[in-house]
Structure 1
Amino acid sequence: MTAPDPTTPTLTTRPFDVDADVALLHRWVTNPRARFWGLEHASLEQVREEYARLDADPHHDVRLGLADGVPAFLVETYDPHHHELAAHTTLRPGDLGMHFLVAPTDRPVHGFTRAVITAVLTECFADPTVERVVVEPDAANTRVHDLNAAMGFVVEGEVALSDKTALLSTCTRAAFDGRTR
């Protein structure tokens, strides 16, 4: 048996707590490195209002990601059938929408973002009803497109959403399993 790599953090998630976590999230989403999140110029109160709205939405789940117990990323999952995306593509039963944001840092750790998306997709596919994960990152976010491709996502095409031109991509359970075995 191989010993665990001590440099690889343990990644977990917990429910996002609007009151306790909003100041931290505000620092993340207003950082220029998080420009594709679309909240670069938002006030603390605007971020609070947005995440209180998402928290109240029964078709949306927000989780704070932890690396060895320290906040390090955000995960949002949603039912794409209840999202504006539904008007732009054919969705299937078993589809789950997903967004993730790695906390901006001045000292990035090589491979951390890949570890995060792997953990996030593992958590998504842990639900046996999820057959496919749907993402719609900004079309200009080439770094995440490359990462998505490495995880097994297939580009479906560009879609014009209310806040961006997005690159709609999907990843099946089989494609993800094939990439992470």
Structure 2
Amino acid sequence: MTSRVPDILFSATDPLLGEFSLRTLDPVADGSLLHRWLTHPKAEFWMRQDARPHDIVREYSAIAAADDHDAFLGLHRGTPTFLVERYDPAEVELKGLYEAVPGDVGMHFLTAPTETRISGFTRAVIRTVMEFLFADPAVRRVVVEPDVRNTAVHALNAMVGFVPEREIDKPEKKALLSFCTRDQFIAAGGTKA
């Protein structure tokens, strides 16, 4: 019996890099891949450096079972290359730390470690993620809370329209609370979803 490949939920084409797509993450089938990505030094801000494979499977199984948090595997030309988490920031990550408004959605993303650098790749990934999120007409604003020290992701966020609001103290880090509305994303060169 062959295992079923999860359906593609969203795809977008970058004019230079080709097709990017997202499918629902399978915590068990994708667990070893995620473990490699999340324990790599490149993923230091995800704070999973000491996680064991079963820790990752357990964590993403809990996300898959949650009503207010989900995870997706991102593909570039059919090959897994990035991870996306979507969550309700009023219930997950930012509960009680900011004033949520209807239409808010939280987001995390991680590109896989690689030996081969592709110019513009991470920018294409975050644009794809934002297009995916804004494809839902109920989403009015994307909320992120990266570590204040993660200057690389702050620059990427700015490229797609995020505006920092303030630093906040979370239990695990000092974070830069930032927002991007649909109009800000479009003004930064994003496509209308």
The alignment's TM-score, normalised by the length of structure 1, stands at 0.94
Q: Give the share of equivalent positions with the same residue, in percent.
A: 49
Give the one of 166, 176, 179 matched to 1:170. 179
Q: Aligned-pair distance for 1:6? A: 7.7
Runs of 4+ residues deviating >3 angstroms: 4-7
Partner of 1:34: 43
Q: How does 1:26-175 map to 2 (within 5 A)?
A: 26-175=35-184
* Greater per-residue helix proportion: 1
Match of 1:11 in 2: 20
CA distance in 1, matches of 2:105, 2:15: 32
Q: Distance in 1 between matches of 2:163 and 2:35?
A: 31
Tell me the CA shift for residue 84 of structure 1: 4.0
Shift in Å, 1:156: 1.0
Distance 1:72 1:81 in 2: 29
CA deviation profile, 1:96-120 (whole Å, cap 9, x unmatched): 0000000011212110000000000
Aligned residues: 178
What per-residue deviation string (whole Å, max 9, x for no partner) do you get for residues 142-179 of structure 1? 00001101111010111111221111100000000011
List alignment gaps of at least 5 residues for structure 2. Answer: 1-12
How far 1:83 moved relative to its partner?
Answer: 1.7
Shift of 1:27: 0.3
- Aligned partners of 2:14 and 2:20 also within 8 Å: no
